[in-house]
Structure formats: C-alpha cells, structure tokens
Amino acid sequence: MSNSQSPTSDAAAPQTGTTGSNWVVLKFGGTSVASIAGWRCIAAQVRRLQQDSPLLVVCSALAGVTNSLLLLAEGQCDDVEALADTIIARHQQLLVAAGGDSFDPAMQLLVGQFRDYLKALPGTVIASAKQPGKRLQAAQQAQLLAYGELLSTTLGVQLLQLQGVAAIWRNSRELLQAQPARAHHPEHHAWLNAECDMVADVKVQQQLAAALHAQQAQVVLVPGFVAANADGATVLLGRGGSDTSCVYLAVLLAARLVEIWTDVPGLFSANPRQVGNARLLRHLGYMEAQEIAATGARVLHPRCLRPAQLAGIPIHVRSTHQPEHPGTIISDQARDFGAQVKAIVSRHGITLVVMETLGMWHQVGFLADAFAVFRQHGVSVDLVATSESNVTCSVDTGEQLLQQQQLQALEKDLQAICRVRVIPDCAVVALVGRGIRTMLHRLAPAFEAFEERRILLLTQAANDLNLSVVVASEHADNLVHQLHELLIPRLARIPEESVFGESWQELTQDQAKPLQSRASWYREHRQTLLELAAQHPCAYVYNLAVVRRQAAVLQQMRSIKRVLYAMKANNNVHVLRLLRALGIGFDCVSMDEVLYLQQATDAGVDEILFTPNFAPVTEYQQALQMGLKLTIDNGFIVQNWDGLLRGREVFLRVDPGQGHGHHQKVKTAGVHSKFGIPLNELAQLAQRCQQLDLRVTGLHVHIGSGLTLPDNWRRSAELLLGLLQLFPQVKVIDLGGGLSVASKPGDDDLDVARLDQLLLDVQQQHVQRGGAEVAFWLEPGRFLVSEAGVLLARVTQTKGKGDVRYVGLNTGMNSLLRPALYGAYHDIVNLSRLDDAEQQLVNVVGPICETGDIIGLDRMLSRCTEGDVVLIANAGAYGAVMSNHYNMRTPAPELILGMAQ
C-alpha cells in the first residue's frame, strides 16, 4: 500500500544530499491523533524541524480504537457491522473537523479492505446473549488490531495535507522485520509481542530521503505498533508498541533524536493525574527511565529504551498540550545526582504466584524446575522473593493479550512440583532512583505508610535502582500519595541543576481556567455566597438553575425514553421537588428513601424504580405491596423467595463482567463488585422465571461512576438487547448512570450528543434485525446535581512544616467524605481572594482527628489567612448525604441559593 500527496504551495523542500544520519523520528500517541488539535500540533512540529532534518512521524491508532478491536478479537462483540461503523465514523468526524469532506482514494480503499476483513471473520467470533464468541487466533488478532494504526496514519496524510503539510505514507511492515520466535516463547508471542532487529540500514535511509525529495514532501508518516515477520505476515510489537516502533525506526535511520509526544509533558515523580504535586523529571538516564516505565509509568513503553540506549539516541518526551515545554530528556548525558529517590510509581494488574514446599530446602535445581515451567508457558516473571520453603514471584497480567489461559495452565503444571497459590488483583508500588541501598536509613520513616497494609512481597532491585512492594490493589494509590509526600522534595525555588522541575499543579495552572469558567457559577454569585458564609460557619449551597440545566441536557436526548434520578446522590427536598416538577423519575435503593421521597414530593409509585442490594426480605415485600417497580440483582432471590415473586413483574440487574469508574470503590460490576447477576447465571435464571410465571419486563446494568466514554453505554445497550432471547417480555433497557462530571483540569466532558447518537444507532440496528421496540432509560445521579452544589467553609489556621503548607478549615470529612473515602477530587478556591495573583501550594485539611481528613492535596490557592471563606466545588453529589457527626462535630447544613434561609 502506498499513499502520497501533491505538494502545496508553501511546502518547503527538504535538504538535499541527506544520508540519513540527521533524521528525527517523532511519535504521537492515541490521544494526540484523536483530535484535530493534536494534528495541528503534529503539523507545527513538522514545520519546526523540517529545515534541519528529514522527518519521520509514527502514529498510534485513535484513542479507544485498539480496545474496541480487542473486544472483537476476544469474542466480546456481538455486532461487527456496528463496530466498523463506529470506528469509521470517528475517522470521518476527524476529517470533517479538519475541514475535509470525503476520504481520499487511499483511505477509501483501506476502509473497504477493513470492512471486507471484518465480514470475512468466522461467525464463531461473534458473541451471543448466552456466551462470548471464540477468541481469534494470534495471527488473526495481529491482522485485525493493525487496522487501528493503518487507518489513523492513512487518514493522517490527508489531515496534514489540509494544513499545508505534504506527507508520504510508508508501510511499517516493509520497514520493520520481526525476529524469529524464540524457542521458549509460546506461538502467540511471535504474533502479538514481536521484537525487531536493531541495525541501522543506510539503504533505507537513502530511499526514504530520496522519496521525500522526489515528491517534495516534508514528512514520512508510518503506522506504529505494526511490523512483519520473515514471511511478510503482519505482527504486532505488544501493547504500547508504537513507542517501540518509533525507536526501532530511529535505529534503522541512525536518527539523531527521538521525540515521543503524549498528553503530559514528560516523566514525573508520580502519576500526575493522581498526585497533583508530582514533579517533572527534567533529565534521566536510560536505565532510570526504564525502571520508571517498567514499574508503572504509562508515558512511554519500557521496551523502547534499550534500543535507544544501544544506539545512543536521546529521547525527548513532550506534550501536545504544552508543545513549548522541553519535557523530559532521556540520554546517556544525564547528570548523576547521587543517591536519591526520583519517583514513586505503581502498577496494577499484578498476580502473585506463591510456590510452597518443604522439599525445596537444600534441593538442587528446584528453582530451575519451577522457572522452566514459567518458560514453557511463555510467562515472564517480574519480581521474585525466596525463603527455605517458599518462592513467591509476580506476573504482570495487565498487559498480556492471552493472560488467563496461560496462567491457568501454568498453575496446573506447577502443582506437579509444589503447592501453588495464586493471588490476583495486586499492585506493585516502587521507589525508583539511584543508590537505593545506600539510603535505606533515610527511607525508614516512609515505611510507616505500610503500617496498616499487608505487604505481600518486598524486593530490592539488583541494579540498585528500585525498591518494590506488592500490596492489594486497593491500597496502591493511597500509598503512592503518602510515599510521595514523604520522599519527594517540595521546592519553593527550583535550582537550575535539579533533576526535578515544576509540579503538575504549576504546569497545569493555566489549564484550570476553562474548568473554572464552565463549572464556576459561584463567580457570578460570589457576593451572595460570602453573605451566606457570614451567617453560617460552614454550609452546602445549591443552585437549582444548574440542576434544571443538567436535566434539560438529558431530556433532549432522542434515544432516552425516561430519566430517573438516583436520589442517593442528593436527597435535599428542594432538589427532589424540582426534578419531579421537570418530569424526572426516581431510582431509590432503600425503603426509607422511597418513604422520604413520597413524603417530600408526593411522588407516585409509577415514578419510582426500587433497586435494593442485599436488603432484607421485608423491603421486597413492602415494595411489591406498594406496587413499586422492583429490580432484582441477585439470583438467590429468584431461587429462594419463590412465594414472594410468583406471578410478579420485575427488572433484573445484570453484571456484564467488568466494571469501570474513576476509583476502585465506584466500579459496580465484575467479580469484585457485589452488584448484579453474572451473565453465566442468566440462562438458568430465565428457566426459573418461567416456572414462577415471573415476568422480566426490564433489564438493568450499571458498571460504575465517572464514565467518560460514550461507548460504555453502547456496549451495555448491545449486551442487554442480546439478552432479549432469554427474556422476550422485556420492554425497558435501563442503562444505569455513571455519567461523568469534569472535576479537575484535563478532565474531558462527557459527549452527550455522541452518546445519544450511539444509542440511536443501536436502537435502529435492533429494529432492522427484527427486534421489538424497547425503551432506553438512564439513571444519573452526579450528572444532575454535582455542579449545582458548593461547600463553604472558613479558614481556621494555617501551618508550615518544612516545605509543606497546610490550610485548615472548620469542617472536613464530617461534611465531605468523598476525598477521604476514595480520593475524590474537588476544585477548591479561596472565595475571599478569588482573583488574587499570588498563589501558594497547600494541603487543605479539616478539623477531624484523623490523618485522612484531607479535602485536597497539593492545591494552588490564593494566599489564605484566618477567616477567609474557602469554596469547594462540585459538591452537590454525595456530599451532605454522606455527612456524619464523627468527633461530635456538626456537619454543614444545606442552603438553596436565592431562597430565604
């Protein structure tokens, strides 16, 4: 396949006589290429560099496309045509945003090939209501997943052309040849995790430079992630393989520089999305960068660093959001700052394999035998700890495409030589830096953070670059926060020679303004809020106009027949009355909620859906007696309470098998969530319903909170529609809630219009297949009320401890529990000094006698003094309803803006 474009009038001719030794190779990730802003950045970088160097750009697939294709590859997709339509539509929308109209001939040809390939897939791969489809073979997976990068880069040539940048397309399968599979690797490894030769090729350098010159082009565009084996068949370089492609191609071209462009301006001392005070790492050596990448940083793939090191090619990690920032430089010229912890990182998706037997004591060759089994199954061991009767090792199951089958087979074969125990759902927390062994005495105070957490494994790297601890996954994020606070220095002034640069908060301070302008109705009502604060020590204040606005957004969705408010989010009577007046129904999770709602609003039973979880039988009895619509989320109820349900109508809540959300504790699906009926129980449950004459008239799913991708609801809708074969009397598909609310800089708004269109498409396709008309419902909570509420509190004291500054408030986790409970982020401003230019980095804390009474860590606030009014935004959901009287402190009362108090 070949693709070239005619030169534009302002296209600059590349340097002539280039031998390839001056090449620069750039890589842009999925988030960068998924927006027209990202492509504008790509065009700008080409213009910046083209005068000095021939350029090659490597691109990933559009964000989310590979994941969608992977669902199909794993037999989790029940509508291949809809999948193809969605992926192609995303590329079409990108073209339109760039000012284009229709795909060029090269893109049209590729789109046709993509559709033909999907149509030719065996029918067994398609999922049904009763069971998932059959997983594709590794070679088929490679061919399917490669389409993501092929589509993005083929379209990319056209997108650059529209911006006046002439580009030529080259097939990475013609440039990168995978090495033969190693004897100890399983067959799929050669297809899905291939490695390539790392040798410069002068001939390829000259050919590409000549092609640029001949076509008066400015850049060569190449798909990442994809290579070919010796037979010319498509292979992949593993998830995150576009980084590796980029460096392989840089080695091939003997490039002078690699630039990896992503959505953050470099590597940080922790995940900046989780730790606001994470500091940019300005300069790193290859080995340090590899440790940080391998132990959890997602900015670049660890496999890309070794070939860069061997070839001596420096890597610059930069951000498309802040292209002027120099980012992180990785090279062999990085200065040695001595023994120092530079990063605290975590990696989830870890499984521990524990091997126990007294027979290993003084037994020659036990470890060799055990690791031979790991090798036989192609499972790579990460961390290892040994004793006289126990060997424990960690396996990263988060990135392996064929993980579960391998792990089960591994466990079975290991049992022949020892007792085996597998501990899933773990995480590694690693301290990364130079000279870890020489500074253990300085690390000692930090280990108090592990006091109440069970350590499952502890190892210290042989290269003295990291100390790793394995804990239960749920503890990892909090540990990273605590350890970062203890071990990474805060710098009021950054020395020129420091490895540490600006904090994430400082770098994104300007980016916070769009968030404040959208969700900060409090600016308009600042004086009123200050007057209310003068009357109340602390208070929640709700703006009902915002609730009305959010309700209108959902009621305008053509795909949604009914909106139910999840009243557990905020049960203020004025909020409830307004929503009922707007025609919104209610989802209640306890009988007390039902009775409270009816008393407050006179809501009828036809306006309420009752969705209890592990409630006593008396609540179900009362609900049925009242005539409420009842949701059952446990097969136990149908199997054991037959007298209660015989002849009734109910909804069933289904667990799709995987949850999503902004925190582990708000994921409401999957084996580690208590909600919903597993898919594998539904067929038997349908038979039981028939025996009881129990009519299932609604199917319900809710996978979590804070969901940002509209595709989540599309998949849920398709899943539930597929279950109509089992439950043909269903008239309602309840898609739950979880609609995200942007709460911090960098968060994306949920694209409600796209969600609406996706659901309309699903409904249309269902009808076209002969399906009966079914109504779609939504159950939002936060989306309706979060932005409507603020929490006002007063500054009681301030404190400085070293470089750490604290601002204390007169209320804390007794009024707002979310930050302490699951690390929720709330925007915080000093309302008394809202527009003061002077800013300081502080921790905002409450008066409760708990270390966890933290409202916000590492926040940039106007300088605070005693008596200032601090406003905590996005507090309208799960605030007052979760308040408490801990320490016998009275929580904040609730007020309505503009209403006499």
CA distances from 496 to 282, 489, 500, 532, 553 (A): 10, 15, 9, 47, 50
Kindly state the tokens that stand for 879.
Answer: 């605030």
Query: What dihedral angle (degrees, nearest 10) is formed by the CA atoms of 252, 257, 262, 267?
Result: 120
Has 849 been annotated as catalytic? yes
- Please answer whether residues 466 and 431 qualify as being in contact, where contact means their C-beta atoms are separated by less than 8 angstroms: yes
Contacts of 395 (CB under 8 A, 6+ apart): 350, 351, 352, 353, 379, 380, 381, 382, 407
Show the 3-state SS of 357-402.
Answer: CHHHCCCCCHHHHHHHHHHHCCCCCCCEEECCCEEEEEEECCCCCC
Residue 726 one-letter amino acid: L
Contact 499, 335 (CB under 8 A): yes
CA nearest to 60, candidates 218, 240, 192 = 240
Angle at the Cα of 784 (from 782 to 788), degrees rounded to 5? 90
3-class DSSP assignment, residue 781: coil
SS3 14: coil
Decide if 737 contacts 781 (C-beta within 8 A). Answer: yes
- Residues 780-789 as b or e (16 or more Cβ within 10 Å = b): bbbbbbbbbb
Q: Which of 59, 77, 849, 864 is catalytic?
A: 849
Pairing relationship of beta strands 562-566 and 775-778 according to DSSP bridges: parallel
Report the C-alpha gap between 436 and 288 in whole angstroms: 12
Distance CA(586)–CA(568), nearest Å, equals 10
Residues 8, 2: Cα–Cα separation, whole Å: 19
CA distances from residue 587 to 326, 741, 899 in whole angstroms, order as listed = 50, 19, 27
Amino acid at 31: T
Q: Which residues lie across from 791 on neighbouring strands?
A: 540, 872
Q: Among 302, 250, 570, 288, which Cα is nearest to 434's? A: 288
Q: End-to-end alpha-carbon separation of the chain, Å?
A: 71
- The two three-digit tokens of residue 669, written as one number: 């699906």
Element (H, E) at 274: none
Angle at 53 between CA 49 and CA 58, to 5 degrees: 75
CA–CA–CA angle 170, 181, 377 (5° rounding): 130
Assign residue 296 a region: left if phi > 0, alpha if psi is -120 to 50, beta otherwise? left
HSE of 75, CA atoms in CB hemisphere, 13 A: 16
Give the 3-state secondary structure percentages of the chain, helix then strand then coil, rounded to 5. 40, 20, 40
Let me know: does 413 contact 376? Beta carbons within 8 Å. Answer: yes
Q: Give SS3 for 347.
A: strand
- The C-alpha atoms of residue 445 and residue 442 are separated, in whole angstroms, by 7
- Identify the bridge partners of residue 588 per DSSP, sorted by sequence position: 610
- At 128, the amino acid letter reads S
* Amino acid, single-letter form, for residue 502: E
Catalytic residue list? 849
